[in-house]
Structure 1
Amino acid sequence: MARETWATRAGFILAAVGSAVGLGNIWRFPFITGQEGGGAFLLVYLLFVGLIGFPAILVEFVIGRYTNLNPVGAIRELGGGAWNYLGWLFVAIGFVILSYYSVVAGWFLRYTLIGVTDGYALAGPEEAGQLFGTVTTGIDSLLFHAVFMALVIGIIAAGVRKGIEVGVKVMVPAIIVLLVGLAGYAFTLDAAGAAYAYYLTPDFGYLAANWTSILPAAAGQAFFTLSLGMGVMITYASYLGEDRNLASDAGVIVALDTLIAVIVGFVVFPFLFAAGIEPGGPGASAIFVSLTSAFSTIPGGRLIGVVFFAMVGIAALSSAISILEVLVSYLIDEVGVARVPASVALGVAVFVLGVPVTIDLIFLSLYDGLADGILLVLGSLLLAVFVGWVIPDVAREELAKGIGDLGGLGSAWIWIVRIPIAIVVIVSLYLGVVDYVDFLTGGFADWLAAR
């Protein structure tokens, strides 16, 4: 079976950006930023993206392009032995993340429909909370989880060129246009100045006092939003030719993803400040409850709400297809299953795994804390060790293809991967494990005891 490839460079870049620009940027980024101190978190997050994210995405690119295989096959070919389990870790991460990702994406589809049919006029804080409970659990949540997964399955089943590439060439430009338009509108609100000050001015005292929570949150957000540590970028790079300049492509992808995340803050925080809502509400409900309350008070709020929630739904779709592609590429490469049945079978399995999240939101915290705080960071750490210490020569040579003589830059990149990235990721992993254990022995244990 001939392996598919990208038709154009733009197709690859837009697919990678589409993978990176999703719920991580538009749903998760604002409420994590609010919870972790606004500008203090933004500063640490940007440092992580530039100093850790860019070198780390190159790690996945060189593995994918060198092997032209899915993550399981790629790691087996390059390392073998105990390293084979790393490829399986990526498959497991993809299953977990997409299962709850699809549920949350379904919420955005439902909120879009609510805006079209009923608007958000009754969504004061109390009513907004009631609406969130209705949308996020029960038959509504299950139905829209199914609708979203059906869309993802359809695009992946159509293939790399006719499905993924065609889809992202429409979705990613649409996301950018809608986001820039919303940011322009938010700029006109009276509270925009105060919102920008909160968002852009780091409080170093707050940072010093709360670094143990800010550091793992920023690391997890950086890995999540760049789709690192789950094999997505290995898979996408496996469809590349050897003439591609991986460093240049990585720079464009990281820059676009980060720019979009930053613009999201210029949209969300002015909306919240204009409605007199404090940012930093706890958990997944923060953006939904806060923004629907805001849309009920700001001028043109109904239309703005529909556009915002629709944009997030599109962004979620562009990311979700990348995660399912990791799983599907495994069945195609390793088992020889055709693309359509592989897409349907795996999509249905992911849907079933996500069903508990539609029943009780405690499962969202259970899945997300494990995947984002531990597994993504662990996957990135093991990849850094693998490339930095096991296959450094192969990695340097692969990176040089399409670039030319790297001089000392190739060795510098390897040492960044070996030491600084590994140290920072180890610290973040430790803090993430501590946070997750606290959740398991606290909130989750209390939930189990109440059953």
Structure 2
Amino acid sequence: MASSRELFGTRIGFVLAAAGAAVGLGNIWGFPTQAASNGGGAFLLVYLLMILLVAFPMLVVEMAIGRHGRANPLDSMRALSDNPLMKRLGSGVGLVGLAVPCMVLAFYSIVGGWLVSFLLAAVAEILHFTDAAAWLKGFSASRNLFGAILFYVLTIFIVQAGVKQGIERWSTRLMPALFVLFAAMFIYIMTLPGATEGLKHYLIPDFSKIMDRDLLLAAMGQGFFSLTIGGCSMLIYGSYLSQKENLPKMALSVTLVDTAVAVIAGLVVLPAMFVAMHQGVEIYAQDGSLLSADTLVFTVLPLLFESLGAAGPYVSLVFFLLMTIAALTSSISMLECPVALASERLGSSRKITSWVLGGLIAAFSAVIVFHFGTLFGLVAKVATQYFQPFAALLFCLFGGWIWSRDRKLSALREGYVDIEQSLFWKIWPVYVKFVCPILVATVLWVSLG
């Protein structure tokens, strides 16, 4: 399996694909919202610290497991031990991990469909198709299903082409486009009244809030979910990484790109929120809490775009194109996880497997669409608050305790011959064995609370 396994062709291709898997609505929607709700610059400072303390060490664990196993999540987890019982338990852990991207994709694609719909609505407004724009912006089962199907087609189209021609090829196009669109949005937003006040709120920390318990827990959770720890995407992408590459260095590159996107998203969204406030749009309640935190992107910001007059549809077009790209780079990694398993275990065609599995998950999304009030929040909560942190904890325990220190060293020596003499190796094995499980268990405890 390892000899014929497709690998990423370039370092930059891997970094952009893996960062793209991490970059998503959590960075562009979740991070600015959390920052706005938790002291702006204070949250940013603590978030960056939590990325270093929680997310990066765990990212190395997942990527190392994937590259060592050179297989899907189930077989990669089995490869950590020669003990028959541990192999069976490893398969179970891989199965729990695999459930995460499947469940997340089921509701995430509905949100992705909303983004596609708002993107098309901006195009319709520019072309003066007002009825079509109104339908695309409205919340109906037919609109939600239409958007989700389009989003699935885009996702499947990329995944079915393979690692190099699909995932790597499109990631190296979409991620640079993401940064260009962010730059354009930032430059434009900063010309509007109120933007400077938002920028100050974001960049200047209120040090009195640094040790606030809610802020610390929110920053830890955001840092954890920002890199999709426990979501299997990093494990499966790690399995496509060449043994010649320095794995800790590659993991650091992915962490930096993902964090940069989150930070830049804050540079755009927070000033935009204060511009909206300047235009008369209500952002904060009287108690200082953020209004419409969960639907900020679909309620508050469109009101801002409408207030910009003739420029509004064009700004909306750029913004929702940016959001769609971010969502798409994540969704392709989610679908890749079950596709890799089915292709390797059954020997089936990647193209057929991608369409069949994508279609099955899309069918589940359709059920959610037609029972939205009951299922959407439930599936999202079970996937992100229960399964993902639980899977991450299991990955952490297996990576720290079941996978022997000598085997870890051997795996990381590939591409980093002198790693045993490095400061990283002196800290990381002990850190992932003792500290990471406590931190991940804390995230799980907060999620369950």
* TM-score (norm. length: structure 1): 0.88
Q: Does 1:278 align with 2:290?
A: no
Write the distance in 2 (CA, Å) between the matches of 1:425 and 1:145.
32
**Aligned partner of 1:331 among 313, 317, 342:** 342
Q: What's 2:73 paired with?
A: 71
Q: What's 1:321 paired with?
A: 332
Write the distance in 1 (CA, Å) between the matches of 2:377 and 2:217.
16
Q: What's 2:113 paired with?
A: 106
1:220–1:372 CA contact under 8 A, matched in 2: no
RMSD over aligned CA atoms reads 2.4
**Aligned partner of 1:344 among 326, 343, 355:** 355
SS of structure 1 residue aligned to 2:416: coil
Write the distance in 2 (CA, Å) between the matches of 1:357 and 1:217.
28
1:70–1:329 CA contact under 8 A, matched in 2: yes
Q: For residues 175 and 362 of structure 1, do their structure 2 counterparts lie closer, same or farther at Cα, with a shift above 3 Å needed? A: farther
Q: Quote the sequence identity (%).
A: 34
Q: What's 2:425 paired with?
A: 410
**Aligned partner of 2:27 among 21, 25, 28:** 25
Write the distance in 2 (CA, Å) between the matches of 1:120 and 1:100.
31
Whichever residue aligns with residue 331 of structure 1, its letter is A
Whichever residue aligns with residue 5 of structure 2, its letter is R
Q: What's 1:370 paired with?
A: 382
1:40–1:202 CA contact under 8 A, matched in 2: yes
Which is further off, 317-326 or 37-46? 37-46
Q: For residues 184 and 295 of structure 1, do their structure 2 counterparts lie closer, same or farther at Cα, with a shift above 3 Å needed? A: same
Q: What's 1:394 paired with?
A: 407
Deviation at 1:216, TM superposition (A): 4.4
Q: For residues 220 and 358 of structure 1, do their structure 2 counterparts lie closer, same or farther at Cα, with a shift above 3 Å needed? A: farther
Whichever residue aligns with residue 292 of structure 2, its letter is P
**Aligned partner of 1:294 among 278, 287, 304:** 304
SS of structure 2 residue aligned to 1:341: helix
Deviation at 1:362, TM superposition (A): 5.2
Q: What's 1:448 paired with?
A: none
Deviation at 1:397, TM superposition (A): 2.1
Deviation at 1:44, TM superposition (A): 2.8
Q: What's 1:157 paired with?
A: 160
Deviation at 1:140, TM superposition (A): 0.3
1:381–1:426 CA contact under 8 A, matched in 2: yes
Task: Name stretches of at least 5 consecutive residues in structure 2 with no aligned partner.
Answer: 82-86, 285-289
1:220–1:373 CA contact under 8 A, matched in 2: no
SS of structure 2 residue aligned to 1:96: helix
**Aligned partner of 2:122 among 115, 125, 128:** 115
Write the distance in 2 (CA, Å) between the matches of 1:36 and 1:224.
17
Whichever residue aligns with residue 115 of structure 1, its letter is A
Q: For residues 282 and 35 of structure 1, do their structure 2 counterparts lie closer, same or farther at Cα, with a shift above 3 Å needed? A: farther
2:74–2:90 CA contact under 8 A, matched in 1: no
Whichever residue aligns with residue 308 of structure 2, its letter is I
Write the distance in 2 (CA, Å) between the matches of 1:314 and 1:295.
19
Task: Name stretches of at least 5 consecutive residues in structure 1 with no aligned partner.
Answer: 124-129, 435-451
Alignment of 1:134-173 (within 5 A): 135-173=138-176
Q: For residues 216 and 330 of structure 1, do their structure 2 counterparts lie closer, same or farther at Cα, with a shift above 3 Å needed? A: farther
Whichever residue aligns with residue 409 of structure 1, its letter is F
Q: What's 1:87 paired with?
A: 94
Q: What's 2:84 paired with?
A: none
Whichever residue aligns with residue 296 of structure 2, its letter is A
SS of structure 1 residue aligned to 2:394: helix
Write the distance in 2 (CA, Å) between the matches of 1:85 and 1:44.
34
Deviation at 1:89, TM superposition (A): 0.8
Deviation at 1:231, TM superposition (A): 1.1
2:292–2:299 CA contact under 8 A, matched in 1: no
Q: What's 2:224 paired with?
A: 223
1:34–1:281 CA contact under 8 A, matched in 2: no
1:67–1:74 CA contact under 8 A, matched in 2: yes
Q: Does 1:233 align with 2:211?
A: no
Write the distance in 2 (CA, Å) between the matches of 1:297 and 1:4.
49
Deviation at 1:32, TM superposition (A): 3.0
**Aligned partner of 1:379 among 385, 388, 391:** 391
Q: For residues 215 and 355 of structure 1, do their structure 2 counterparts lie closer, same or farther at Cα, with a shift above 3 Å needed? A: farther
Write the distance in 2 (CA, Å) between the matches of 1:283 and 1:190.
22
Q: Does 1:49 align with 2:62?
A: no
Q: Does 1:14 align with 2:16?
A: yes
Q: For residues 298 and 419 of structure 1, do their structure 2 counterparts lie closer, same or farther at Cα, with a shift above 3 Å needed? A: farther
1:196-233 deviation line (CA, Å, top 9, x unaligned): 22223344555555x24x44433332233212211111
Whichever residue aligns with residue 240 of structure 2, its letter is Y
Q: What's 1:425 paired with?
A: 440
1:91–1:326 CA contact under 8 A, matched in 2: yes
- Structure 1 outlier segments of 4+, above 6 Å: 130-133
Aligned pair count reads 425
